[in-house]
Structure 1
């Protein structure tokens, strides 16, 4: 008895169950890898919840793997469950995974899912019959029936069909249709099917010798014509002779509805696994039950949906089905009705319905008794201990590293990232920039099971595997930046045994790398790593010593490296100078006395950059600005240097570059010009004196410089420039439209604050004895009267 099915088809699943109940076979043969026969009893375990998948991977190359997904509504899963419930032997009869994995050994190693030919991208050119079949065999049948949508055709002829009458008729009709397709198109471009089908026929013969006619075969309908054909045993064995082999392991792994959908890239052949699961599980009135689910979801999202909406949506779906000549409403009619009635014509809430219900985020579960590599077992143990359950739905996780459980969760996620198991992705924390807080975006994908199997070669526990992987990465690193990034990740993952190896690799790379740009790029990452020592109680002394040595080399090599640079290289070097400046500020507080005052020596380097004419203007301007911010350069000296640069002897392009370095970017240069009118006057006078022929050259650079300012800063600068240098004092300033910007304090504005201060301080309105003191304090506040 051949039961040809559509993989993951709920209609096929119901028909298979009805056929098995009617025929009561003695042996059930199922399309799938025979190595999984020993895993079939686990399907009856109470902790096994589909969707799940059989995972096969090469023992010597775990990244070479293949999946066989099974959902609750998959005909193969229904056949397995029926056989277990009735104590009937069940076996898989597809080509062994040992050959399947070896077949593509010379191809890129990516997880695959052996399935039938499914829909690919829409053809835009004329295709041959074989190519057309490779697109989707169901599409050919749907087109022959006058349908432009294979899914809608399948719903009408299979999903909307009841299980009454002859339970074997659907398989006979579908097998006959596939026979016509195979006769017209052959293998449809899938020549490997001939080998697979030869192996299936051999397994069928062996089962028939054991059980006679009491054999039921559940396989893809595409194979039914080939399995009916008469072939000699010798011919079938000849096709299997000489097939390549690899050692393979097999286990069950959790799967998701999202991975069953076509958009996931695994080509399972269905667009709507959530909808299909609903059709399979609904005992009756599937449309009414579906609309109730949709209403419940929308209510959870605070949308107003009443029972009247549900009733109206069901009526509309039934009306649409009648108008379109369909036997019952399908997903298309249900979606149109939901959009019109519950979503008020908007596709935004409808997208939520599609994502959560039509596709779904159901994640299956596998019992602990399932075979697993030691690393997988250790990971599962840690997940249970930390109460960090894998979920298919993406969620954010806020961690406070001062709490023991949160700190251990952070270590686990960082160690997994070192092992290339990207379960969690770090994101920016909201409301805090402290090193004690982390935010992660978590989402468990089925292919991560493959990554765990791959990482198993590094160790049997997460800690030992991450340590070994970090040591190997340190030895194989090609650049200094790679090693510094690895050092940071080792500190975050708390791998004390790996850190010495990484430090040696870091010292070797730093000693051999003479590029100042590389050194300057590596230093900030090292210094950032030092920040994690306090909150994680990690010894960072060795790292601090390496970072200090790296800073010494940057100090020596930076001035000559900044000479004779073009505009693009100068801008990149300016970013390096900014990064080193911030790194030295943190590093100076942590290194030993043997390295002296790093900040003072860094300021000396900036002084050198300020005075060298061979250094590009953008770097000289930024060096002056950094010294001014640190109090190492007086405002008078900064104004003098700006006046020299903006003198007529300097080319307009160089002067504009200096201005960009001095007040450009997001370093607060706009506020500096707002509060120091001398600098603003120098820039204003220079700009008005730029020759017309040079103005068009410097305009883009100036626009880039000032466009980075906040809108309020730009508006204030515009008002100051409009007011002009001749009206910046006394009453003129008060009448300028910008109160408070003047060379003297504005006592009237200061006095206006007194009532508020009395209220805040709880002073009695009649008590004016402290008025003079308050006024004096107000006058001392920076920015109020200027």
Structure 2
């Protein structure tokens, strides 16, 4: 075992590594091959020792992670990720392949999780493994070597080292000397936890030495810990550091991991910036730059970018030239990225972002064999499925949920929480025969891939409720538009996430206050109002939500008339859709305020809710009368006022007359018709009001042949959307001519099925059915709803 790292009277092989470093991984494999130890000790939670054999299972494919969580409080958890280029994973696989025992020697997770609960310093670290120091050792060493980038320095001295004939232990000697100098200068870095962890590691190393001898033990750990493990310390001193540590009952398992989670930007403190690049370096036996740029070219070609083999050749030359100019031994990620930008992307960062996302970081997802223990989130889901009697099945089936029942309401919350986490076990469908908010229809089908989605969602929490809450809060902070936040508020109420709602509401209030675009405000309002309805049916306190909704509505009222002026055709169509959505939301919002108990309506927003309809109708009147507003919007405003009973038939006909007068350009008139009678119910409006139909018919017959060709597509779109029966009835009415329907009835001259007056006897026959559907009782209520007596 010549060349072994020795010192302080011990022959233990200490291999100090960088977590997730391909150069470290290759060096570890070479050192183990040279040393042939009889036991391999690895930095990690000792509770995971029984899970080590699973690393050799054919169904295990990194990146994976060890997950430890407190049994009594699953929310307390920690991850130890490993990729195929992680030195720890290489050490595990070497030991299993050689039949050598492997053990984890870090501080037990039972102590780490309990200690985390008591002494969490708020740094957001997700795993107790890793350097955990106030200084960045790599940054200090890089600065000493004259580098301004620690990643670039590490690549040059470690990651780009290829297989060679040099001493397999030499890299670890150099790293240990550097870390010893750092520890002499900075001590333990100011964290007691590192000292305790190192004490536990020393005790486990002593146990292994007694078992197999000094020269048969190899230790793979973070380079920062090597000087402390080499240091001579008494057993009593080490045990004293471990005495009295808090302890929690824990459970450990393997879970799939992803490159994206491994990246620093994914939130893991001991991650790396470019896991995809590191994976490529580790997997490439030779010519890594050429292989990488060929891979980049393949990705860009798949995205229809014109990249040829000549581009690859030129990019390789440029990367090598840049490395020489910058004094680097071989091109690194910086040089290859610059070459890709210049040669393959024409200097644009847009396709380069794709390369960074797909290759530099990557979407590689690990796999865990079925024999591995289930992740906590999956276990919590299993418990919920059994409790709610909602079994996962491979066959597709539909489930009707009545939210007024406790069990169905809990089922709905579970399905909505899973959808928020990206686990689409159930897809919402339109309920048959019901539009009430108390009923939901779901199409359920359990796919094998959903188990992976559950494992991925485990990074947000170990219970469905905790994970959905954390995901909602993160989505609210990252939302790009106001509409996204309002939609998220709706999801939170549907999913029953009261702890996430304050964060979502805070984001919503901030974005609503800063957003001045009426279109975006109008787009956001309907989802907010729907959230109020779902809050009502679930008994959730939504007063804060109502206040924001009312404030948002007031801003829409003020900004809508000027925003409707001077719009082109596409913008006018989009604004018409916004107006439709806001109109529906106004009715629901005002109804919600009107139905609130007066004792609870203490805030001004709720007291003002009853005035919303009046204000909105005033806005529609202003929009309907302004000449600069496009016809499709003016027509829709008139139609909405007519439907709401704020405009009589006579006034509607009076407003239609000028819009369809000979002085109005045919295109504008056709747009007015599209706005007035387009959409649901427009055909029946013309069926029942012959005056409006006669105005449309008279205008249409008076359009010149040249203009008719121009307006035909718009008219075809308007009338083509009607139901076939409605179109047939309108055709009959137009063929017979205006005024020919009066007196219609069985055997009469008019259209069959229509009479001049309401048949109260026939209308009254439906009252019991209406009462049953609406759950109303009492003759007075029936008369109010139907407009007739029984």
Any conservation in 2 of the 1:33–1:96 contact (CA below 8 Å)? yes
Q: Could you say what the CA RMSD is over the residues aligned between the two structures, in angstroms?
A: 5.8
1:332 is paired with a residue of what secondary structure? helix
* Residue number among 334, 344, 347 corresponding to 2:346 in the alignment: 344
The alpha-carbon deviation at position 325 of structure 1 amounts to 1.2
Please give the alpha-carbon distance, in whole angstroms, between the structure 2 residues aligned to 1:339 and 1:432: 51
1:80 is paired with a residue of what secondary structure? helix
The alpha-carbon deviation at position 616 of structure 1 amounts to 9.4
Please give the alpha-carbon distance, in whole angstroms, between the structure 1 residues aligned to 2:208 and 2:124: 34
Please give the alpha-carbon distance, in whole angstroms, between the structure 2 residues aligned to 1:573 and 1:324: 57
Any conservation in 2 of the 1:31–1:76 contact (CA below 8 Å)? yes
Q: Deviations over 1:687-731 (max 9, x none)?
A: xxxxxxxxxxxxxxxxxxxxxxxxxxxxxxxxx99xxx9x99977
Please give the alpha-carbon distance, in whole angstroms, between the structure 2 residues aligned to 1:488 and 1:568: 22
Partner of 2:305: 303
Q: Within 5 A, what are the aligned runs for 1:285-684?
A: 285-372=287-374, 376=378, 415-418=414-417, 422-424=421-423, 444=453, 448-449=457-458, 453-455=462-464, 571=554, 579=585, 581=587, 619=612, 621=614, 625=617, 670-671=634-635
Any conservation in 1 of the 2:22–2:281 contact (CA below 8 Å)? yes
Tell me the TM-score normalised to structure 1 length: 0.59
Change in CA separation of 1:754 and 1:223 when aligned onto 2, cut-off 3 Å = closer
Change in CA separation of 1:484 and 1:199 when aligned onto 2, cut-off 3 Å = closer
Residue 74 of structure 2 corresponds to residue 62 of structure 1: yes
Partner of 2:128: 114
Please give the alpha-carbon distance, in whole angstroms, between the structure 2 residues aligned to 1:578 and 1:5: 62
Change in CA separation of 1:288 and 1:431 when aligned onto 2, cut-off 3 Å = farther
Please give the alpha-carbon distance, in whole angstroms, between the structure 2 residues aligned to 1:657 and 1:136: 61
1:167 is paired with a residue of what secondary structure? coil
* Residue number among 5, 14, 35 corresponding to 2:26 in the alignment: 14
The alpha-carbon deviation at position 135 of structure 1 amounts to 4.0
The alpha-carbon deviation at position 267 of structure 1 amounts to 1.5
2:463 is paired with a residue of what secondary structure? helix
The alpha-carbon deviation at position 579 of structure 1 amounts to 4.4
Residue 231 of structure 2 corresponds to residue 229 of structure 1: yes
1:2 is paired with a residue of what secondary structure? strand
Q: Deviations over 1:128-164 (max 9, x none)?
A: xxxxx62411000000000001111011111222332
Change in CA separation of 1:455 and 1:401 when aligned onto 2, cut-off 3 Å = closer
Any conservation in 1 of the 2:429–2:443 contact (CA below 8 Å)? no
The alpha-carbon deviation at position 299 of structure 1 amounts to 1.5
Change in CA separation of 1:101 and 1:671 when aligned onto 2, cut-off 3 Å = same
The alpha-carbon deviation at position 205 of structure 1 amounts to 0.8
The alpha-carbon deviation at position 276 of structure 1 amounts to 0.4
The alpha-carbon deviation at position 311 of structure 1 amounts to 1.3
* Residue number among 741, 745, 752 corresponding to 2:705 in the alignment: 752
* Residue number among 39, 55, 61 corresponding to 1:27 in the alignment: 39
Please give the alpha-carbon distance, in whole angstroms, between the structure 2 residues aligned to 1:241 and 1:80: 30
Partner of 1:509: none
The alpha-carbon deviation at position 116 of structure 1 amounts to 2.9
Partner of 1:71: 83
The alpha-carbon deviation at position 339 of structure 1 amounts to 0.8
Residue 283 of structure 2 corresponds to residue 257 of structure 1: no
Partner of 1:163: 163
The alpha-carbon deviation at position 300 of structure 1 amounts to 1.4
Partner of 2:178: 177
Change in CA separation of 1:622 and 1:10 when aligned onto 2, cut-off 3 Å = same
* Residue number among 222, 231, 244 corresponding to 1:220 in the alignment: 222
The alpha-carbon deviation at position 101 of structure 1 amounts to 0.3
1:328 is paired with a residue of what secondary structure? coil
Please give the alpha-carbon distance, in whole angstroms, between the structure 2 residues aligned to 1:734 and 1:660: 20
Any conservation in 2 of the 1:619–1:658 contact (CA below 8 Å)? no
Q: Deviations over 1:590-632 (max 9, x none)?
A: xxxxxxxxxxx99xxxxxxxxxxx9999546358x5xxxxxxx
Mark the runs of 5 or more structure 2 residues left unpaired by the alignment.
Answer: 1-12, 401-409, 469-487, 497-525, 541-545, 558-580, 596-606, 648-654, 674-694, 717-730, 740-790
Change in CA separation of 1:316 and 1:198 when aligned onto 2, cut-off 3 Å = same
Please give the alpha-carbon distance, in whole angstroms, between the structure 2 residues aligned to 1:311 and 1:299: 15
1:32 is paired with a residue of what secondary structure? coil
2:188 is paired with a residue of what secondary structure? coil
The alpha-carbon deviation at position 452 of structure 1 amounts to 7.0
1:148 is paired with a residue of what secondary structure? coil
The alpha-carbon deviation at position 197 of structure 1 amounts to 0.6
Q: Deviations over 1:543-591 (max 9, x none)?
A: 89x99xxxxxxxxxxxxx99xxxx9599499999954846999x9xxxx
Any conservation in 2 of the 1:54–1:68 contact (CA below 8 Å)? yes
1:267 is paired with a residue of what secondary structure? coil
Partner of 1:248: 250
1:113 is paired with a residue of what secondary structure? coil
Matched residue pairs, number? Answer: 560
Please give the alpha-carbon distance, in whole angstroms, between the structure 2 residues aligned to 1:660 and 1:137: 68
The alpha-carbon deviation at position 62 of structure 1 amounts to 0.5
Residue 202 of structure 2 corresponds to residue 201 of structure 1: yes
Partner of 1:647: none
Any conservation in 2 of the 1:64–1:110 contact (CA below 8 Å)? no
Please give the alpha-carbon distance, in whole angstroms, between the structure 2 residues aligned to 1:224 and 1:324: 32
Partner of 1:766: none
Please give the alpha-carbon distance, in whole angstroms, between the structure 1 residues aligned to 2:431 and 2:319: 49
Query: Which range moves more in the overlay, 12-21 or 658-667?
Result: 658-667
Q: Deviations over 1:380-437 (max 9, x none)?
A: 999998789xxxxxxxxxx99799xxxxxxx999735447971348999999999989
Please give the alpha-carbon distance, in whole angstroms, between the structure 2 residues aligned to 1:251 and 1:416: 25
Change in CA separation of 1:230 and 1:311 when aligned onto 2, cut-off 3 Å = same
Partner of 1:154: 154
Partner of 1:46: 58
Any conservation in 2 of the 1:621–1:658 contact (CA below 8 Å)? no
Please give the alpha-carbon distance, in whole angstroms, between the structure 2 residues aligned to 1:420 and 1:109: 30
Any conservation in 2 of the 1:617–1:657 contact (CA below 8 Å)? no
Q: Deviations over 1:240-261 (max 9, x none)?
A: 1111111111111111111111
Any conservation in 1 of the 2:417–2:464 contact (CA below 8 Å)? no
